[in-house]
Structures are given as structure tokens and as C-alpha cells.
Amino acid sequence: MSDSTSPGTAYSKSSLSSKAIASDSQTAQSWSYEQTVAQIEAIITRIELGDLELADVFEQFATAVEHLRECEIFLSHQQRQMDVLVETLMDEPEGF
């Protein structure tokens, strides 16, 4: 795992920063939470069908875990942004 990752690669807990989400601007622009969730769901469906070789099951599972980490990082980043916005609103003068 590398610290200079983009949403198309695996992440470590220490790389939970906006840099991790958008280090490669082209990949970051094409990455979509919704599409990634759809990919995870498709992987789960393929595994559940039981038609994959065991090695393919492990490979697909690893890919799904990687996608889940990407989503976790994205959601964590978005939550921090929301917290900052809410905090900013709470600090606004009441007469504003």
C-alpha cells in the first residue's frame, strides 16, 4: 500500500486525507462512490452464484475489500467536511 494512492487503489488507515482521494486528478474525477458500490454488489453476486473457481473467489473478495476501503475513506472525508460545515454554522452570530 502506498501513501500516494488514488481511489482506484488500496489505502492504509494513515492515508485518510483528501490527498488520498484526489492524488491522481484524472482518476479522482472518474471515481464514483455509487459506481464503486455497484461494483461491490456485482462481485458479491458473482461470488454467491458459486460459478467461480476458488482462486477467483479470493481475487474477487480482495477486490471487494479494496473497494470497501475506498468507500470508507471517501465517506470519512465527506463526514469531516460536514462536521466542519456544521461547526461553522454553529459559530455564526445569531443575528446573521
Interval 63-94: pLDDT, tens: 999 999 999 999 999 999 999 999 998 887 76
Identify whether 6 is part of a domain: no
Task: Tell me the pLDDT tens digit for each residue of 1-41.
Answer: 333 344 444 433 334 344 444 445 546 679 999 999 999 99
Q: What is the pTM of this model?
A: 0.65
Cell of residue 79, nine digits: 463526514
DSSP state of 13: G
Identify whether 36 is part of a domain: yes
Distance from C-alpha of 85 to C-alpha of 82, rounded to nearest angstrom = 5
> What pLDDT shows up at residue 5?
40
CA 95, chain centre distance (Å): 39
> What pLDDT shows up at residue 16?
38
Identify whether 80 is part of a domain: yes
Identify whether 5 is part of a domain: no
Under a CB-based contact definition with an 8 Å cutoff, are residues 28 and 6 in contact? yes
* Total domains, the chain: 1
Identify whether 43 is part of a domain: yes
**Segments forming the whole domain that contains residue 41:** 24-91
